Amino acid sequence: MSYPSARYLDEIGQVSATLRTADAGPDLLIGERTQVHHLATGASTDGQFGLYRWDMAPRPKGGGPSGHFHRTMSESFYVLDGTVSLYNGDTWVDATAGDFLYVPPGGIHAFSNNSGAAASMLILFAPGAPREAYFEALAELVASGRELSQEEQLELWARHDQYPAKI
């Protein structure tokens, strides 16, 4: 493994860093239970990665996506606080602060907060896909109370590089 080709070729560095302070509010609410913080979007990282903080309130019946995979990107989960149920394609694990799950393209995975207490995690997509549009579609569905048909669900997922696991 070697370093990738240089992307910055000037002889001196530039002032270009961005800071998001800890007190910044969420960028998106999905219902009353999930706050999504767009820490670094694919657009802001020139497509290199997308990083999101996912804060989940206790849920009486869990919630979260069913088993699925992505064709174009990896997804990683890092638990910050609480307990998050992570599915690695084989088994569910109750992950706690400091636990990390990496899922390569094609890897089956899912997550849920089944603990009865608040939980928080970082989700990293690489390369940086425009996941915000998918998250916004979820928020709109929850707000409207509309249920998608199976065909509509599959179309929404496919539009956002998400495919159901056949297990």
Using the predicted structure, report yes or no on whether residue 151 has a pLDDT greater than 80. Answer: yes
Domains: count for the chain: 1
The answer to the question of residue 21 being in a domain is no
- Which pLDDT belongs to residue 112? 93
Task: Express each pLDDT in 85-109 by its tens digit.
Answer: 999 999 999 999 999 999 999 999 9
> Which of these, 47, 46, 50, 48, lies nearest to 37 by C-alpha position?
50
The answer to the question of residue 152 being in a domain is yes
What is the 3 state secondary structure string of 75-139? EEEEEEECEEEEECCCCEEEEECCCEEEECCCCCEEEECCCCCCEEEEEEEECCCCHHHHHHHHH
The answer to the question of residue 114 being in a domain is yes
The answer to the question of residue 82 being in a domain is yes
Which whole number is the average pLDDT over 12-26? Answer: 95
CATH number, domain of 156, equals: 2.60.120.10
- Which pLDDT belongs to residue 65? 87
The answer to the question of residue 11 being in a domain is no
The answer to the question of residue 9 being in a domain is no
Task: Express each pLDDT in 99-138 by its tens digit.
Answer: 999 999 999 999 999 998 999 999 999 999 999 999 999 9
124: containing domain = 28-162
The Cα 64–Cα 121 span in angstroms is 13
The answer to the question of residue 1 being in a domain is no
The Cα 66–Cα 14 span in angstroms is 43
- Which pLDDT belongs to residue 163? 97
Predicted model pTM = 0.93
| Banded pLDDT at 61 (limits 50, 70, 90) | low
- Which pLDDT belongs to residue 62? 58
The Cα 45–Cα 49 span in angstroms is 6
